[in-house]
Amino acid sequence: MTSGTVATAVEVQLPLKVVRRKIERVGFAYFAQRRQFLAPGGVERSESDEKLEGVGEEVDISYLKSLDPKEWKDQDHYAILGLGKLRYEASEDDIRRAYRRMVLLHHPDKRKAKGEEVIQDDDYFTCITKAYEILGTSKPRRSFDSVDPEFDDSLPSQTDIDNDFFGVFNKFFTLNGRWSEKPHVPAFGQVDAKREEVERFYNFWYDFKSWREFSYLDEEDKEKGQDRDERRWIEKENRAARIKRKKEEMSRIRSLVDLAYNNDKRIQRFKQEEKDRKAAAKRAKMDAAQAQKAEADRAIREAALAKEKAEKAEQKRIEQIRIEREQQKKLLKKERKTLRDKVKDCKYYAKNDKDQLKHMEGIEKICETFNLAELQALNKAMESKGRESFVAALQTAEQKIAAELEEINQTQAKKLASSAVTPKGVKEVKKNELWSNENVQLLIKAVNLFPAGTAQRWDVIATFINQHSQDNTVLVTARDVLNKAKALQNTDHSKSSLKTQANDAAFASFEKSKKDVQTCKDITLGEETTAQASKENLKQNGVDHKANNQSTKQNGTSPATATPAAAAPAPVPATNGSSGGGAASKTWTKEEQALLEQAIKTYPTTTPDRWDCIAACIPNRSKKDCLRRVKELVELVNSKKEAQAAVK
C-alpha cells in the first residue's frame, strides 16, 4: 500500500440460512427434560394429565372402597379411572396412563407396604382392573359408551324450546351426533343459516345411521351357558332385547328431529317463501293466460270484422256485377229487338222467299253471336247502309259459327286420337252389343226395383244387370246405365217398335189365357200357358226373372233348353187343395198378386189353417202355389239386398 492511497472499509451483508432441527437430548439434558414431565408420584405426565388437573379428577378413596366388584356392570368405569370429565373423548393413551397412575396409587402391594389391611377377594382394585379391561379394548368400550350413564336420552321441553330454540337444539344435536356412523355431522346453525345448509342438516338427520348398540345391557352372558342349546337361547334373547332397544333409540332420534323441524322458524320462513313464490308464479301465469286470451279475443274480433267487411265488399261487388249484367242484358235485349224490328220493317232485305227465309234465320244467328257493342254498331250502320250492313253482319255471324264448329271438331278429334289406343286386356264393346233387348228389359226392371233415393242407385242397377244378364262377357258400368236411362227417357216411344212388340205380346198372352179359362163349381181354373206367354207376362207385370234363371241353373239347364220343358202341358188341378205340379209353373198375374197380398194381411200368423184360408181367396191357386209364390218373393227381396251389398 502506498502513502498516497486511503484505506476504506467495505461492509458486505451475506444472507445466512437458519435451519431448525430436532435433536434428541442425551446425558444430563435428557434427565432434566424428563423430570419436567414426571408427576410427583413418579408417573409420566401427558397432555390429558394437564386437562385433569384442577377439575376434580382425583378419585376419592372412600368412593373406591364403596365399590362392589360383583356389581361391576352398574359402575362408572370412567369415574373409577379418574376420567369422569373426558369420558368418551379420552384417547387410548389417556386410558392407559390413567390406569398406570391408579395402579401406582392403589395396588394392593403398595397399600400393604404402607400398613393398610387388604382383603384379597373383595378389594376395590378389582374394579379398577375391570374398568381398564372394558375401556382398554375397543369393542367392550364401544358397548359401554353406548349406555354411558352420564348421557342424557331425554328430549327438550316446549318451554326450553320457546325460550332458547337454537341454543337448546344445538346442544342436543351435538350430544347425539356422537352416535353417527358418518363423520362430519352438520351443525344445527343459527337463524341466519342458508336454505341449502338447513336442508342438508335435516336430510342428514332424517337419514341418520347410529352405531349405538346395547350388548352391554345383556341380562345373561352366553358364555355361562352349560351347553350349546342354552347358549343359543341366551344369544337369541339378548339379540331380541338389543333390536328392541335399537328401535326405541331410532324412534327417539326421529322424535328429536321432528320436534326441531316443526318448531324451526327457518323452515316456516322457507315454506312461506316457497308459497309466495308459487303464488307469484301462478299469478304471473294467470296474467299471461288472460293477456293471451284477451289478445286472442281481439284477434278474433278483428278477423270477424275483417271477414264481415270483406263479405260486404264481396256482396257489393257481386251485386254490382249483377246490376251490370242486368243492364247489359236489357241493353242487349233492346238492341236485338231494335235489329229485329228494323229488319222486319225492311221485309228482311229479301228479294224472294228464299232470301227471306235465309235472312230470318240469319237474324237469330246475328243476335246469338254478336255482343252489345257489335249490335249497337250494326244498328247504327243499318240506318245509312241498310241491306249492305245486314248482309255483311250475316256473313260475319256465319264465319263465327263456322270457326266455333271447327274448334269443337278439332277438340273432339284430339280426344278420339288420344283414346284410339286401347290398353291391353280391355275389350272394345259396341253400343249395340252392350245394350241388347235383354239388358234393356233388365234395366227397366231394375229402375222399378230400385227407385230414386236408393243409396248408390246406378251402381246397384249396374250390378243387378251384370248378375242377371245371360251374356257375362260384357259388363255394364254405372255411367253406361245412367246414359242409357237418360236416352230411354228422352226417346219418343211412340215411334219405337219395342213398346209395340211388348204390347202385342201382352195382348196375345191375355187372349190365350182367356180362351183356356174353365169354370168348375164357381171356381175359375186356367190351363198352363206356354213358356213364351209366361215370359211375356213376366216382362209385362214386372216380376223378377231372377228366380226362374236360378232354378234353371240349379237344375243344370240353360234358359233356352228349359223352355220346351216348361211349355209342355201338365194336368189341370181339379180343386184348390190339389197338389198337382201344373199350376206351379204358371205365372202370377197382377190380380192374383193383389189377392195374395190382401189375403196375407187379412189372415195373420195366429190364424188356424192360415194358408188354406189364403188359398181359398185366390182362384186357380192351391196352398202349395201360395207358399211357393211367397218363397219367390222372399228370394226376390234377398237378391235386391245382395245387389246393393255388392256395390258397397
* Residue-level pLDDT at 572: 35
* Residue-level pLDDT at 20: 65
- 464 within some domain: yes
Q: What is the DSSP string of 550-571?
A: HHHHHTT--HHHHHHHHHS--P
> Among the listed ranges 206-215, 258-267, 343-352, 626-635, which one has the minimum average pLDDT value?
343-352
> Among the listed ranges 78-87, 97-106, 356-365, which one has the minimum average pLDDT value?
356-365
Q: Where are the beta strands (DSSP E) in 106-185?
A: none
- 326 within some domain: yes
Listed in sequence order, the residues at least 6 apart from 391 whose beta carbon sits closer than 8 Å to its beta carbon are 349
pLDDT at 290 over 90: yes
Highest mean pLDDT among 284-293, 526-535, 602-611: 284-293
* Residue-level pLDDT at 585: 52
Distance between CA atoms of residues 91 and 526, nearest Å: 137
CB burial string 236-270: b at 16+ within 10 A, e below: eebeebbeebeeebeeebeebbebbeebbebbeee
* 219-245: average pLDDT: 86
Residue 292 and residue 386 in one domain: yes
- 54 within some domain: yes
* Residue-level pLDDT at 133: 92
* 150-155: average pLDDT: 88
Residue 102's nearest CA partner among 71, 75, 130 is 130
Exposed/middle/buried for residue 400 (C-beta within 10 Å: 0-12, 13-18, 19+): middle
pLDDT at 6 over 60: no
Please answer whether residues 629 and 543 qualify as being in contact, where contact means their C-beta atoms are separated by less than 8 angstroms: no
Please answer whether residues 147 and 216 qualify as being in contact, where contact means their C-beta atoms are separated by less than 8 angstroms: yes
Listed in sequence order, the residues at least 6 apart from 504 whose beta carbon sits closer than 8 Å to its beta carbon are none
Alpha helices in 346-385 (DSSP H): 353-369, 372-384
In the beta sheet, which residues pair with residue 520? 523
pLDDT at 207 over 80: yes
Please answer whether residues 579 and 622 qualify as being in contact, where contact means their C-beta atoms are separated by less than 8 angstroms: yes
pLDDT at 590 over 50: yes
Residue 308 and residue 206 in one domain: no
* Residue-level pLDDT at 648: 61
Highest mean pLDDT among 45-49, 232-236, 530-534, 558-562: 232-236
pLDDT at 555 over 80: no
* Residue-level pLDDT at 225: 77
Distance between CA atoms of residues 154 and 252, nearest Å: 8
Chosen domain end from 489, 518, 541 = 489
Please answer whether residues 534 and 586 qualify as being in contact, where contact means their C-beta atoms are separated by less than 8 angstroms: yes
Residue type, 628: R
Residue 73 and residue 99 in one domain: yes
Residue ranges making up the domain that contains 401 = 279-415
- In the three-class reduction of DSSP (H, G, I as helix; E, B as strand; rest coil), residue 518 is classed as strand
3-state helix, strand, coil in the chain (%, to 5): 65, 0, 30
- 478 within some domain: yes
| pLDDT tens string 391-419 | 888 888 888 888 888 888 888 888 887 76
* Residue-level pLDDT at 564: 33
Residue 300 and residue 358 in one domain: yes
* Residue-level pLDDT at 510: 67
Residue type, 626: C
Helix (H) or strand (E) holding 249: helix 228-263
Distance between CA atoms of residues 191 and 179, nearest Å: 25
Distance between CA atoms of residues 595 and 588, nearest Å: 11
In the beta sheet, which residues pair with residue 180? 210
Query: Helix 165-176 vs helix 228-263: angle between axes, to the nearest 10 degrees?
Result: 160
* Residue-level pLDDT at 281: 94
Chosen domain end from 93, 113, 146 = 146
* Residue-level pLDDT at 561: 35
pLDDT at 334 over 90: no
* Residue-level pLDDT at 313: 93
* Residue-level pLDDT at 554: 37
Residue 216 and residue 330 in one domain: no
- C-alpha distance from residue 250 to each of 156, 254, 256, 592 (Å): 16, 6, 10, 104
Residue 254 and residue 175 in one domain: yes
Place of cell 293471451: 292
Please answer whether residues 644 and 454 qualify as being in contact, where contact means their C-beta atoms are separated by less than 8 angstroms: yes
- 572 within some domain: no
Helices (H) and strands (E) in the chain, counts: 27, 2
* 325-340: average pLDDT: 87
pLDDT at 517 over 50: no
What's the mean per-residue pLDDT of the chain?
77
* Residue-level pLDDT at 309: 93
Please answer whether residues 380 and 387 qualify as being in contact, where contact means their C-beta atoms are separated by less than 8 angstroms: no
- 372 within some domain: yes
- 497 within some domain: no
* Residue-level pLDDT at 272: 92
Residue 141 and residue 253 in one domain: no
Residue 255 and residue 296 in one domain: no
Please answer whether residues 102 and 81 qualify as being in contact, where contact means their C-beta atoms are separated by less than 8 angstroms: yes
Number of domains present in the structure of the chain: 5
Give the CATH number, domain containing residue 94: 1.10.287.110
Residue 398 and residue 307 in one domain: yes
| pLDDT tens string 245-273 | 999 999 999 999 999 999 999 999 999 99
pLDDT at 289 over 50: yes
Residue 466's nearest CA partner among 427, 434, 498, 489 is 434
Residue 241 and residue 316 in one domain: no
Counted residue by residue, the chain has a size of 648
- 571 within some domain: no
| pLDDT tens string 36-89 | 655 444 445 555 455 444 333 678 888 888 888 888 888 888 988 888 888 888
Chosen domain end from 146, 169, 190 = 146
Helix (H) or strand (E) holding 62: helix 61-65
pLDDT at 286 over 90: yes
Residue 398 and residue 472 in one domain: no
Residue 215 and residue 327 in one domain: no
Residue type, 66: S
* Residue-level pLDDT at 113: 85
